[in-house]
Amino acid sequence: MLNINVIKYLSVFFVFSLATASYAEGNLASRATRLPDMAIDSAELSLSISNFQLETGKYYRWRIVHDGGEEFQIMAPDLFRNSWIDQVVVADLEVQPMGLYAIEFDDEGTIDVWFVPIRPGDFEFWIDGYENRGLAGKFEVR
């Protein structure tokens, strides 16, 4: 049998937790925060930016610009799995996927990924086959 003090404590804790719960109001997928453009230099094998600091529940646009020197596939499986992907835009054409596995550039161009991270963590991204040659980075989601 539960002690009356334990019951009182649990009741107060339950009421307090309901009172402090926060809920999103409005459209989370409006007015995206634009991350700095990430340019891929295939000659130098470098990224213009390789670390991003994000917040959960905030809408972002990640613009990736490729110079077309080589075919690259960008992998970010943990970020994509732990985010809601709103859309991917290529040459002003929008795709609304249910999920995302990778982003591939066969030629020069720009791809925008619009997303909302839903879980905190450190999520690595890399260009497949080049991750040990400087084409890798991290999303720090808090």
Q: Could you report the per-residue pLDDT of 78-88, keeping only the tens digit for each?
A: 999 999 999 99
Q: Would you place residue 31 in the very low, low, confident or very high pLDDT band (cuts 50, 70, 90)?
A: confident
pLDDT above 70 as % of the chain: 79
pLDDT at 10 (0 to 100): 47
Q: pLDDT tens, 33-55?
A: 999 999 999 999 999 999 999 99
Q: Whole-prediction pTM value?
A: 0.77
Contact 108, 66 (CB under 8 A): yes
Q: pLDDT tens, 61-79?
A: 999 999 998 899 999 999 9
Domains and CATH numbers, the chain: 33-141 (2.60.40.420)
141 Cβ contact partners less than 8 Å away, ≥ 6 residues apart: 54, 55, 56, 79, 82, 117, 119, 120, 121, 122, 123
How buried is residue 81: exposed, middle or buried, by Cβ count under 10 Å (0-12/13-18/19+)? middle
Question: What does pLDDT average to over the chain?
Answer: 86
